Structure 1
Amino acid sequence: MFIAFTPSRAFLQEEEDAAAPSASGNLRPAVCVWNKRLIHQLFGQRPACDVLVVATCPTSCALLQSLPGKTLLGAVLAPAVSLAGNSLAAAAGDPAPGDRVCCVYALGQPSKQQQQQQGEQQAEGAAAAAAGGGGVLLVCCQYPVVRERAAAWARSVLGQVSYGHAVFLGAMPAEQFRGQGDASQEEMVFSLLTRAARQQQPSTHPAPAPLLPTGTVVGGLPAALLSHCQYPVVRERAAAWARSVLGQVSYGHAVFLGAMPAEQFRGQGDASQEEMVFSLLTRAARQQQPSTHPAPAPLLPTGTVVGGLPAALLSHCQVRGQSAELLVLVEMVAEGRPALLEALAAALAAALTGRGAAAAAGALAGGAGLAAARRALGLSGGQGGTDVYA
């Protein structure tokens, strides 16, 4: 968890007033320009890969540009980034280090020269075979993306590509580092992983670099890219997302399923030792709660704060007088992960039964559904597979 201390609002008021006229421009998305013929030939509808690698600093861009066997797929154009002054090589897909461009490559796909030599049919067959294995896509961003535009850039680019795992390469100034060591005397490389990456990390393949020390703050484009993967609906957009989705559906009662980190929990118990699932209900849900069916889980203890999309969904229903409840599980270390999944399933089944959806509750009671959920989380059986939290 990263904590930043903000000065008083009086100190920042002049800066905010000065930034107001340009604020809307920071939301303008980046534009991905693709070679449509090549995209269709290699992938079909849209670019797809097993691993997406995005370079955001000169060192990482130089590293990716040096890789042989790249096929240029397109480029990313960003607002307020001028192409003036770029070399002619930038348009050919092999830009100079100083060019302000962002190129997207497929690694290991047939080059145009190979396609011409092999003929159209052979080239398409080789491309289909290569695309079938997933492969790797490279994004080399050689222009700076200011912090205010980073989130919009990340949404635009990552939303254009289907990928199984993403690797972001970035840099940070030494004065922001809060760990042991001296960057002037040694090479220092660290890693940060999303929760999904930690869950899927094979035990035979540890993290490629030590975890970033606690207290170190990463900002700008690398942080925006990682945040996009960790939280597909960021806190600032959660309310708009809730309005858009819930406004399209007519419902009598809504059940939202969410999770919260253990450090935000303010009640009794230890999330590493027991399964902890709690509920929050809107006023309308409490009034309509059948006396024969109590709440499916204990009420969330006072002082515990739930944020993000789950809170936005529940708030949307609360202010409109709609019946809704939130089932939130407290996540920590993984010894109880399979049991936590079962506890959530039991609470959801109770909520559905209490609202007259017995058939759906019965589907949760079957062992096949839980077994499929365990497999999706990488858990073998009821005891295997654990999450590793740094």
Structure 2
Amino acid sequence: MEDVITEIPPPSRFFQEDLNNFAPPSQPLPSPFLLFSDPKTEPLRPSLLIIAISPPSLYLFDNLCTKTLIGSLILPEIPFSGNSIEPTPADKCCNIYELNGAANLTLLVSLKCPVSAERFNIVAKLLVGKQIIPERVLILGSVQSQNFRGKLSPDETYAFKLETLAERGKGSDSGASSLLEGLDYFPSGSMVDGLAAALLSQCQMRNIRGTLCVSWPDHGSSVVAQVRSLLQKNVLHGFDLSSSAGVEDKHLRITQIKDYPFDSELYT
């Protein structure tokens, strides 16, 4: 006689999609939106918009004192639990700052929370072209090893750039220069995807002078120094992006242990 308690139940007569018909449909998530401390009817028109996505750039701007919080990008799927009232490096958020002391209005977007792939386009449109209409955009991203044509050594640092046609065209005119003058272009055959690519595409569609700077690796004192040098030499003249050696070493040790990409060939 079969044991009705321990016997494996027969397969369901319904397909999985049929079973889903009995469950109420999930409510769609609200769309992301920008929230400013001083709401204005007119869009902001900064001379330069910097969007920091890569870990080295986020670390550098976390330690920049001459900035004022003016707003945030709100993603409804990202909970606020665990974030402090005052912004800290550990917060999972996307804050918008105004850089104090710049000759012209310069905004910084510090994107420290994950953005899902289906949100890339709507977030890119929010940051570039709707409530913020910049003259120039600098996106700081990372080289993705799976999309790079060639071998990337974790012991060496690299930085490349991609530009919109408007930025490249202005750079070829007399009297106008590229934002990251002298930096090599991203190698042919390699690819950039994700939010950084969506932001650069938005700049291209709106004929905005946009530059995407990607660096490798994601963590380490050498790549932090390289990104710092690029920013101080070409973009933020006179801004102090340095930090105390003890704080920097502690941060880099933690991030290397937690997130450092290992070379899989060493373990095959």
What TM-score do you get using the length of structure 1 for normalisation? 0.42
8 Å Cα contact 1:72-1:104 kept in structure 2: yes
Determine whether 1:221 maps to 2:192.
no
After TM superposition, the runs of 4+ consecutive aligned structure 1 residues lying more than 3 A away are 202-208
Give the Cα–Cα distance (whole angstroms) in 1 for the partners of residues 31 and 141 of structure 2: 21
Pairing 1:182–2:152 present: yes
Corresponding residue for residue 56 of structure 2: 59
Q: Aligned AA for 2:186?
A: L
Q: In 1, distance between residues paired with 2:44 and 2:88?
A: 22
SS at match of 1:140: strand
Contact 2:94 2:109 in 1 (8 A): yes
Structure 2 gaps, min length 5 = 1-15, 208-268
Once residues 148 and 58 of structure 1 are traced to their aligned partners in structure 2, the CA distance between those partners, rounded to angstroms, is 22
8 Å contact kept, 1:78–1:153: no
Say which of 102, 106, 130 aligns to 2:94: 102
What is the Cα deviation at residue 146 of structure 1?
A: 1.8
State the Cα deviation string for residues 11-70 of structure 1 (Å, max 9, x = none). Answer: xxx9xxx9xx88x75xx532111011xx66xxx843221110001132221122222310
Structure 2 letter corresponding to 1:79: P
2: CA distance, partners of 1:182 / 1:220: 19
Shift of 1:152: 0.9
Name the SS of the counterpart of 2:125 in structure 1. helix
Q: Does the Cα contact within 8 Å between 2:170 and 2:177 map onto a contact in 1?
A: no
Distance 1:29 1:195, change over 3 A: farther
Paired letter, 1:164: E
**CA root-mean-square deviation:** 2.9
Equivalent residue number for residue 34 of structure 1: 36
The separation in 2 between residues aligned to 1:183 and 1:136, in whole angstroms, is 34
Could you tell me how far apart the structure 1 residues matched to 2:80 and 2:110 are? 15
Contact 1:30/1:157, CA 8 A, preserved across alignment = no
Provide the rounded CA distance (Å) in 2 between the counterparts of 1:167 and 1:29: 25
Spell out the pairing of 1:187-202 with structure 2 (5 A cutoff): 187-201=157-171
Q: Which amino acid in 2 is paired with 1:95?
A: T
1:144 and 1:50 map into 2 onto residues whose CA distance is 27
Work out which of the residue numbers 142, 146, 152 in structure 1 matches 2:112. 142
- State the identity %: 30
Instruction: Find the aligned partners of 1:229 and 1:46 in 2 and give their Cα distance.
Output: 16
Report how far residue 82 of structure 1 moved: 1.3
Give the helix-richer structure, 1 or 2. Answer: 1
Matches within 5 A, 1:107-256: 107-108=99-100, 134-158=104-128, 159-179=130-150, 182-201=152-171, 205=177, 207-208=180-181, 209-232=183-206
CA distance in 2: counterparts of 1:99 and 1:68, whole angstroms: 17
CA distance in 2, matches of 1:48, 1:80: 28
Aligned residues: 180
Q: What TM-score does the superposition give when structure 2 sets the normalisation length?
A: 0.59
Q: Which of 69, 72, 77 is 2:74 aligned to?
A: 77
The aligned amino acid for 1:173 is Q
CA distance in structure 1 between the partners assigned to 2:155 and 2:55 by the alignment: 20
CA shift at 1:200, angstroms? 1.0
1:30/1:79 contact within 8 Å kept: yes
Structure whose alpha-carbon radius of gyration is higher: 1
CA distance in 1, matches of 2:206, 2:177: 26
Question: CA offsets, 1:83-131, max 9 Å, x none?
Answer: 1122x2xx32x322x311111111116xxxxxxxxxxxxxxxxxxxx7x
Q: 1:198 to 1:29 in 2, by over 3 A?
A: farther
SS of residue paired to 1:215 = coil
**What code does the residue aligned with 1:54 have?**
I
Query: What's the secondary structure of 1:49's corresponding residue?
Result: coil
Do the aligned partners of 1:70 and 1:106 also contact (CA within 8 Å) in 2? yes
Contact 2:33 2:73 in 1 (8 A): yes
Give the Å deviation of 1:216.
1.2
For the Cα contact (< 8 Å) 1:29–1:153, is it kept in 2?
no
Q: Which residue of 1 aligns with 2:219?
A: none
After TM superposition, give the deviation of residue 218 of structure 1 in Å: 1.0
Q: Which has the higher contact order (CA 8 A, sep 6+)?
A: 2
